[in-house]
Structure 1
Amino acid sequence: MADVEERRSLLGNEGDVSHSDSQSDGTRETPRPGRPLPAICDPSHLLHRVVILVFMCFLGFGSYFCYDNPAALQTQVIQDLNLNTAKFMQLYAWYSWPNVVLCFFGGFLLDRVFGIRLGTILFSLFVCVGQVIFATGAIVNRFWLMEVGRFIFGIGGESLAVAQNTYAVNWFKGKELNLVFGLQLSMARLGSTVNMNIMGWVYSQIVILVGFPGHTALGASLMIASVTCLFSLICALVLGFLDKRAERILHKEQGNTGEVIKLTDVKDFPFTLWLIFIICVCYYVAIFPFIGLGQVFFIEKFNFSPAQARAVNSIVYIISAPASPILGFMVDKTGRNVIWVMIAVVATLAAHMMLAFTFWNPWIAMSLLGVSYSLLACALWPMVAFVVPEHQLGTAYGFMQSIQNLGLALIAMAAGSILDTRGYLVLEVFFCTCICIALMTVVMLYFVDYLRGGDLNRSASARARLQKEATSDAE
């Protein structure tokens, strides 16, 4: 009965007329004027969906804020816990290890086991608990406990991103969806940027409060950062309530990820898809591990202050926030994905070579890195849909994320060891080597696609023309 009353209040007078009850003597009850709820409370109204979008964007804020806590506090973590760089980079490796597997099963758990609402709450809880354990490990000076915390944090982090995208598809379909994805990406980059620029200040204030630096101050700073994860958990709870209410009122079904994971599809993947996988791994291992180690690099080589180093280290994320939707629009309008990927890889190689072999202002190289990183993401990931049929997309993207996380875990450990034994110059040469492998693979992809008459490097107009011809033939 409560559902009917709430439905009536949304429908207003029309709802009362159409649902007027009969009296016991057979006469009809006189319709009473309805009291429509405000638009902000109506799940079918745009204003209500804007409220949903706000909670949706903040859903992943805590995860992205805390992911790079080690990078923002690199000097403090190494000094306060008496670590070498190899041990420090284990904090990133332990985040990636669970996602080597969960990239395949995160969507399945959301669709078939938990449902989008419970799944989102559980993954948010993993993120929150993992960050608290991570901070507790620092407080009690137990590095193994910090690694456990990062592992638990990783279980929730990537799967929460899948849940966030599922909510977006469920609430915003059609032309709005690309804008929503762009806003979510911008909020994610905002979380990373705020972390890079504020955690050092938080640590310094804790040191002033307790009177001395050390693992206690480090742990307290990380515990304060966990408040952002708690905030994201609250957003997950509010989203679950609002989505359940909308399901009850509008009689809509829970959203699904749409992913169908069949590991047997892997044997059918074309050669071009494996080349895309290689590009993905070799490129991203030269981005995220570098950012994880970048703060000390800028302090030691360019004599930056810690605040300056954190600022220049975060410019990649700052640029990515507004650039990603703009560059994505450009790639959509022009096509030629392989050429754009090649340009992005060459620009990234140039940025790393500037950082390695020159003393030019690093803002130049890092700004170039931010633009090229955004461009590659916009051009590379959509190519998967051009080379595999729709029913294999879930498996293909899951496998791509899986080997990306495997590469990040292994290279994070390798980068730490190289830095400890050989220094930053050799580490930069190592990153340049990874980018060169990616570049050679892009060139190979170009020729393989060209010789096979593939779709990867067609212009947008050619693709539209072929799609129109295919549609007319089918009719």
Structure 2
Amino acid sequence: MAITKAASLSIRDSKSARWFVLLTVSFLMLTGYFFTDIMSPLQGMLRDQMGWSNSSYGTFAGSYSVLNVFCLMLIFGGIILDKAGIRFTGTFFVGIMIVGAFFNYYAMTDTFNNGGLGYDFLNSFLTDYKPSLKMAMIGYALFGVGVEIAGITVSRIIVKWFKGKEMALAMGLEMACARGGMLIAFSASPWMTGADKIISRPLAFGVILLVIGLLAFFVHNMMDKRLDAEVAADTSVVASEEEFKASDVFLLFKNPGFILISLLCVLFYSAVFPFTKFAPDLMVQKYGFAEEFSGMIVGLLPIGTMILTPIFGAFMDKKGKSASIMMLGSLLLIFSHTIFAFLPGNTGFAFAAMIVLGFAFSFVPAAMWPSVPKIIPESRLGSAYAMIFMIQNVGLMLFPMLLGAVLDSANEGLAEGAALNYTEPMMLMVGCGIAALVVAFFLRVVDKKRGYGLDLPNIQE
């Protein structure tokens, strides 16, 4: 419910209170993104120990989005968020996230792979796929539902506490914390397996971290309950928008700004997150980095975004220019992947490409997510974020599978021990970047015609 007037200050007007709320939900997303990428630096170990092919690994990575796409879980999650509220939705789906992560961990244990609960059943069908892969996919699919809807909920929380204030900066800082989870995963996951390379160890740590994240969300719930009580008690508060109706979901697709920002989201993120699933192995195969250090090179990406996203968010709060910055970020995305695809395997090129990608990965999210409330009324905001995340998940499901299949196809007949050729998979990423640039251009054109105000500052004077 949008608020047009308030006679008294609420807890959200306290800087310390709203930034503390941001801290709690940002830590939650750090734990979620840590587990999301925890397997990425372990692709080589999965090939050697579990017998997974590159296509199998890509199928596992794509399973993250299967339920979100085919069962429309993000749509239902968005409707639940708009109808049942932030506290219930967040708590329930963080719980789903933890359950899925546990199944993912269990799939990597000796207990399961030596005939534990569920092994024989999973080994009785689709025998071309190993039981460990199937169990991991079940877990990762459940986890994907939980973490994506948790992300939608956190976006709604930030709008609730920061709308008309430092919203882009707040979203930038939240994204920086999430990228911090990626950094920890890429850098620490190979080391956490130990000298004996036990894959389940980092996953066990990830499950524990998620439980701590749930406890942090409980702290947010107490703050949010107090805010709702203050708003309800203020008789001068006036609702400016109609209550949400399920039929409102269809109205989103009559909004050209929504359609374009959804397309930009799926194209841009399909060229980033699926890439990060394969990037540590790319660093080993093309650039000759040791497996233990490959994740650290990829970790340059979240390090850059942790620093730059809040800075760009603060700039857009005060100066605007979000539509233009989304175009610039898409252009940098093309440049980065072109380096990976076509330039020689010199380590200097690897560092340069990761740094450029870090700028792109800071520009576009910092501009895109705070733009959604300018395009969509607040009563439909939860469903709008959910629909955008669902469309994004189509790319997150298909592109890892496609990258794995193209990688196997491009290296068919390769001599054992020879380095894999990543040129063709990276050409797919370049194509995504070009398409994202075209969509960002049309979004800027539509913004000028419709007057969304994407290039205007976020802070209301």
Report the TM range for the smaller structure's normalisation: 0.7 to 0.9
Structure number with greater Rg is: 1
Closer, same or farther in 2 for the Cα pair 1:416/1:260, shift >3 Å? farther
User: Secondary structure of 1:98's partner?
Assistant: helix
Of the three residues 135, 146, 149, the one matched with 1:159 is 149
The counterpart of 1:438, out of the listed 436, 439, 447, is 436
Q: Match of 1:345? A: 330
TM-score, reference length from structure 1: 0.75
Q: Which residue number in structure 2 is paired with residue 21 of structure 1? A: none
Given candidates 404, 414, 430, the residue that maps to 2:402 is 414
Instruction: Look up the match of 2:124.
Output: none
1:408-454 Cα distance to aligned partner (Å, 9 max, x none): 211111111011111411111121122222233344555x549x744
Q: How does 1:130-149 map to 2 (within 5 A)?
A: 130-139=100-109, 140-141=112-113, 142-149=132-139
Q: CA deviation at 1:300?
A: 1.2
Distance 1:346 1:173, change over 3 A: closer
Does residue 1:89 correspond to 2:43, yes or no?
Answer: no
Task: Give the 3-state SS of the residue equivalent to 2:289 in structure 1.
Answer: coil
SS in 1 for 2:301: helix
Q: Which residue of 1 aligns with 2:209?
A: 228
Q: Which residue of 2 aligns with 1:303?
A: 288
Q: Which residue of 2 aligns with 1:15?
A: none
**Cα separation, 1, equivalents of 2:101 and 2:329:** 34
**Which of these residues, 380, 403, 419, is aligned with residue 391 of structure 2?**
403
Give TM-score scaled by structure 2 length. 0.78
1:59 corresponds to which letter in structure 2?
Answer: L
Q: Note closer, same or farther for the CA distance 1:398–1:259 as it changes in structure 2 (3 Å cut).
A: farther
Gaps of 5+ in 1: 1-41, 208-212, 469-475
Contact 2:12/2:161 (8 A) holds in 1: no
1:98 aligns with 2:67: yes
Shift of 1:136: 0.4
Question: Which AA in structure 2 matches 1:218?
Answer: I
1:80 aligned partner, one-letter code: Q
In 1: Cα distance, 2:50 partner to 2:282 partner: 19
Partners of 2:253 and 2:259 within 8 A in 1: no
Residue of structure 1 aligned with 2:426, choices 412, 425, 428: 428
Q: Which residue of 2 aligns with 1:117?
A: 87
Counterpart among 186, 189, 194 of residue 199 in structure 1: 189
The whole-number CA distance in structure 2 between the counterparts of 1:366 and 1:81 is: 29
User: SS in structure 1 opposite 2:39?
Assistant: helix
Contact 2:148 2:389 in 1 (8 A): no
Amino acid in structure 1 at the alignment position of 2:291: P
CA distance in 1, matches of 2:378, 2:86: 22
| Preserved contact between residue 62 and residue 229 of structure 1 (Cα < 8 Å) | yes
Match of residue 378 from structure 1: 366
* Cα contact 2:107–2:135 (8 A) shared by 1: yes
1:60 alignment partner, SS class: helix
Q: Secondary structure at the residue paired with 2:193?
A: helix
Asked if the contact 2:41–2:281 (Cα under 8 Å) also holds between the matched residues in 1, the reply is no
Q: Deviations over 1:286-309 (max 9, x none)?
A: 111111100111111111122331
| Structure 2 residue aligned with 1:128 | 98
* Distance change >3 Å, CA 251–CA 287, structure 1 → 2: same
Distance in 2 between residues matched to 1:197 and 1:313, nearest whole Å: 8
CA distance in 2, matches of 1:459, 1:169: 18
- Distance, in Å, in 1 between the alignment partners of 2:108 and 2:181 is 22
Structure 1 residues 336 and 457: alpha-carbon distance in aligned structure 2, compared to 1, 3 A threshold: farther
Aligned pair 1:269/2:255, yes or no?
yes
The structure whose RCO (Cα within 8 Å, separation 6+) is larger is 2
The C-alpha deviation readout for 1:251-293, integer Å capped at 9, x for no partner, is 769xxxx9765233145233x5434333322222111111110
What SS does structure 2 have at the residue aligned with 1:204?
coil
Secondary structure class of the residue paired with 2:64: helix
- The equivalent position to 2:175 in structure 1, one of 175, 185, 202, is 185
User: 1:303 and 1:130, CA in 2 relative to 1: closer, same or farther beyond 3 A?
Assistant: same
Q: Identity across aligned pairs (percent)?
A: 26
Shift of 1:89: 1.8
Check conservation: 1:338, 1:457, Cα contact below 8 A. no
Structure 2 distance, partners of 1:50, 1:267, is 34
Name the amino acid aligned to 2:437.
Answer: L
* 1:110 CA displacement: 3.1
Give the Cα separation in 2 of the matches to 1:331 and 1:321: 16
Q: CA deviation at 1:69?
A: 1.0
2:140 to 140, 143, 150: 150
Distance 1:273 1:279 in 2: 10
Question: Residues 186 and 320 of structure 1 are in contact (CA less than 8 Å); yes or no, is this contact kept in structure 2?
Answer: yes
Distance in 2 (alpha carbons) for counterparts of 1:442 and 1:419: 29
Q: Distance in 1 between matches of 2:39 and 2:26?
A: 23
Matched with 2:237 is: none
Q: Which residue of 1 aligns with 2:218?
A: 237
Q: Is the 8 A contact 2:308 2:359 kept in 1?
A: yes
Count of residue correspondences: 408
What is the CA deviation profile of residues 381-429 of structure 1, one whole-angstrom value per residue up to 9, with x for unaligned ones? Answer: 4555555566655554433222111122111111110111114111111
Q: Which amino acid aligns with 2:404?
A: G
Q: How far apart in 1 are the matches of 2:187 and 2:425?
A: 24
1:319 is aligned to 304
Q: What letter matches 1:103 in structure 2?
A: L
Q: 3-state SS of the aligned residue for 1:302?
A: coil
Matches of 1:387 and 1:342, distance apart in 2: 18
Q: Which runs of 5+ in 2 are unaligned?
A: 1-10, 114-131, 235-242, 411-420
**Residue type of the alignment partner of 2:438:** M
- Deviations along 1:138-166, one digit per CA (max 9) or x if unpaired, are 11232211111111111210111233344
Aligned-pair distance for 1:337? 3.9
Cα contact 1:337–1:457 (8 A) shared by 2 = no
Contact 1:103 1:399 in 2 (8 A): yes
**TM-aligned CA distance change 1:244 to 1:98, over 3 Å:** same
Q: Is the 8 A contact 1:259 1:393 kept in 2?
A: no
CA contact (8 A) 2:41 2:190 kept: yes
